[in-house]
């Protein structure tokens, strides 16, 4: 499945859920916040949220900031 992840093309080869994408990208689930096509998706529903072809996914983490 072709996705846009953090602005770049990504071919996802897993089961197509958000959970599977995070695993594929080696992202720590507890440290990651996520939007799909501009909508915030709470972590509770990642397991059951199926991604679709050409979805735009933003994965974000906490970094230093004032």
Nearest approach in angstroms of CB 15 to other proteins is 20
DSSP letter at 31 equals: G
- The rounded distance, in Å, linking the Cα atoms of 3 and 56 is 6
Q: Is residue 26 within the footprint of other proteins (CB under 8 A)?
A: yes
Q: Which of 40, 45, 47, 50 binds other proteins (CB under 8 A)?
A: 40
- The rounded distance, in Å, linking the Cα atoms of 23 and 5 is 14
Q: Is residue 27 within the footprint of other proteins (CB under 8 A)?
A: yes
Task: Give yes or no for a contact between 29 and 57, defined as CB atoms under 8 angstroms apart.
Answer: no
Q: Is residue 13 within the footprint of other proteins (CB under 8 A)?
A: no
Q: Is residue 53 within the footprint of other proteins (CB under 8 A)?
A: no
């Amino acid at each position: 499945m072709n996705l846009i992840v953090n602005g770049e093309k990504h071919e996802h080869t897993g089961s197509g859920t958000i959970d599977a994408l995070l695993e594929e990208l080696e992202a720590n689930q507890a440290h990651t916040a996520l939007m799909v096509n501009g909508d915030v998706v709470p972590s509770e529903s990642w397991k059951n949220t199926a991604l679709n072809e050409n979805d735009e996914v933003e994965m974000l983490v906490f970094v230093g900031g004032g």
